[in-house]
Amino acid sequence: MRTHYCGHLRASHTGETVTLFGWVDRRRDHGGVIFVDLRDRTGIVQIVSDPERTPGSFETANDLRNEYVVRITGKVSQRQDGAVNPKLPTGEIEIYADEIELLNAVRKQLPFQVSTAEAESVREELRLRYRYLDLRRERMAQNLQTRHAVVKAIRRFLEDAEHFMEVETPILTRSTPEGARDFILPSRVNEGEWFALPQSPQLFKQILMVSGVDRYYQIARCFRDEDLRADRQPEFTQLDMEMSFLTQDEILDLNERLVGHIFQTVQGIDVPRPFPRLTYAEAMDRYGTDKPDTRYGLELVEVSDLVANSGFKVFSGAVKSGGMVKVLPIPNGNDVISNVRIKPGGDLFKVAAEAGAKGLAYIRVRESGEIDTIGAIKDNLSAEQKQELLSRTGAQPGTLLLFGAGPDDIVNPTLDRVRQAIAKEMNLIPADQLNLLWVTDFPMFEWNADEQRLEALHHPFTAPRPSDIGDLKTALAQAYDLVLNGYEIGGGSLRIYQPEVQRQVFETIGLSTEEAQEKFGFLLEAFEYGTPPHGGIAYGLDRLVMLMAGEESIRDAIAFPKTQQARCLLTEAPSTVDAQQLKELHVASTYRPKPKSEAADS
RNA sequence: GGGCCUGUAGUUCAAUUGGUUAGAGCACCGCCCUGUCACGGCGGAAGUUGCGGGUUCGAAUCCCGUCAGGCCCGCCA
């Protein structure tokens, strides 16, 4: 029976006989004395075996290899002076192994080295295929631990301090329009009908408010059948919350205390409260994005009014056709960014082009305050305009001004990306800083050009500001996102709780009364029976853990993630199924393997 | 659906840019070593250079196709 975990042993245990279980992290064989680093999830402790002092274990110690599983019984003893290892928390002691029992050997060559001492980066394909070994490694073991600690802190705060109740909602539910593509499952019992996996528990949590649950939360699995990214998986976990009878400010305050509690408990970090707030309009204006990274400056400056009548057609034309001209001022940018990089073919040009821009105009501010740029700009700006440009952008000698000109929805994303690329390159991002901020007052809708209709920016249950109900098309929403260092980690809103308003919103996004009734009739009906004002929020748990663990991929915050092709390399899911299974489900596959290309043969 | 990057021993990388026998660290196997902690020493085994085709006297290297993994766009809160 285990008496201790490896990583918990200290000098205070000296003299005790302990029994440990774990994996051989490493073995150092000196011919006479053998050292074994024994590892379990808490850490490593050194085991000693030699023929004279521990004859009972020496033979087995000889046979041990990396990652063998063993039971060890022995006495904790203080290490000699000079033999102490300050790098290990257990480095002051070691265990003289009276007994070593080999519980299981490794029968195959390890696909990669597991040892904590090996920091070599292993191909991710291998890590995913042998995930159980990868999870033994220190980095991933720590990430799992961090994730656990975050969830635990959430539960303690919400349940113990704030009277929240966890309620599970169905995984088998119905397909809903709007939002992402659903994963669907055929119903065997109800032939011809389909379940969908939930994109989020949105509808259920609102119904729980109608049910009087008052404060709901759930660590909820969500599913969206869309293409993957470094921060997106087809199944992911949300901290999902919904509350009745609270104002937006009360909800934000509660969430600030929640987030503060998480950082305090998990990492011992005090995040200052209240969190700064930016309106959506302000965020777009100053950063060109609704999730700005505010750890560094490089704020955008709009100059549309200044250049609207200039002779430089790129600028004046952009403004005349309803667009804008904005500047990204880069202090000391002249030294860092050459013209070649801004012009076609250059890397910054590519960044801008990817966002849809045709190019980046620029002005360099020289020592005397002289401006250095292409003739077309220089010649078409008056001295006053130049002066105003410099003072408005705060330009100093050495400053590089990059211009975006065109439609708003090109200029903003372009300068946002360029801003991030430059901040990274110029090392302007303080690594250890945590900038949490709320972005509020989102528009209710945004125009979807493909479908030629308005679309809910957040989701169609978001409440408009009461003062904006008159004109829903341009209304602002009572919605809020929590942003951490440029990542959206949570978002929510006050919900519509009057069926009339809900119907109007459905109408605005082009959902007919009949369609709304068919898709969401159950919700609208529930709202007829006494619905409390309510609102909520959902956090991307994986993304939060990723950031707290200092990882750059969401996969490193998830025990068993999928590849970018949405495959699980461990289980080889998805897989084909028997024809019989399909038949029972009343499903036939239309898939036909592509014929092999014959070009190679002939 | 599209763009870019990567794929060489179990693994992490190298291979003088098309040149003859594809190397090294760690892991693995054998021998030696009683205080190491990334122990050390000696020796050994280990390769369809992802796969298929092409160009060439000659291909890990160049070309085409294909598969897998990654980053991104589209898509997605």
ipTM value for the complex: 0.93
Nearest to A215 by CA among A249, A174, A250: A250
Nearest to A416 by CA among A531, A294, A586, A535: A294
The token duo for A476 is 């602002």
- Answer yes or no: is A472 CB < 7 A from strand B: no
- Residue among A8, A52, A48, A42 nearest A22 (CA): A42
Using the CA of A53, which nucleotide's C1' is the nearest one?
B34
Identify whether the C-beta of residue A486 lies closer than 8 Å to the C-beta of residue A293.
yes
Share of chain A above pLDDT 90, in %: 72
What stretch of H or E contains A427?
none
pLDDT of A594 reads 60
For residue A600, what pLDDT is reported?
32
Q: What is the spatial distance, in angstroms and rounded to an integer, between the CA atom of A91 and the C1' atom of B35?
A: 14
A353 pLDDT exceeds 90?
no
What is the pLDDT, as a whole number, of residue A425? 83
* Contact between the CB of A570 and strand B at under 7 Å: no
Q: Which residue has the higher pLDDT, A379 or A300?
A: A300
- Residue A595 banded pLDDT, cuts 50, 70, 90: low
Round to a whole number and report the distance in Å from the CA of A580 to the C1' of B51.
Answer: 33
Distance from residue A58's CA to nucleotide B34's C1', rounded to whole Å: 12
- Which 87-116 residues of chain A approach strand B with CB closer than 7 Å? 87-88, 91, 94, 109-113
* Chain segment A12-39, per-residue pLDDT in tens: 999 999 999 999 999 999 999 999 999 9
A450 touches strand B (CB under 7 A): yes
Answer whether residue A562 shows pLDDT above 80: yes
Residues 254-283 of A with CB under 7 A from strand B: none
Q: CA-to-C1' distance for A111 and B21, Å?
A: 28
Instruction: Establish whether the CB of A48 is closer than 7 Å to any nucleic acid atom in strand B.
Output: yes
Query: Rounded to an integer, what is the distance from CA A350 to the centroid of its chain?
Result: 25
Highest mean pLDDT range out of A287-291, A365-369, A512-516? Answer: A287-291
Q: Give the mean pLDDT of chain A.
A: 92
Is A285 in contact with A300 (CB distance < 8 Å)? Answer: yes
Q: Is the CB of A212 under 7 A from strand B?
A: no
Nucleic strand B near CB of residue A453 (< 7 Å): no
Structure-token pair, residue A477: 């929403």
Is the pLDDT confidence value at A154 over 80? yes
pLDDT band at A599 (very low <50, low <70, confident <90, very high): very low
Q: A568: which nucleotide lies closest, measuring CA to C1'?
A: B69
Distances (CA, A) of A285 to A276, A277, A292: 16, 14, 11
Q: Is residue A181 classed as helix, strand or coil in its secondary structure?
A: coil
Please write the tens of the pLDDT for every residue from A453-503: 888 888 889 999 999 988 998 999 999 999 999 999 999 999 999 888 998
Assess whether A230 (CB) lies less than 7 A from strand B: yes
Q: Which single residue has its CA nearest the C1' atom of nucleotide B32?
A: A31
Which residues from 322-351 of A have any strand B atom under 7 Å from their CB? none
Task: Give me the helices (H) in A137-176, please.
Answer: 138-155
Mean pLDDT of A318-346: 87
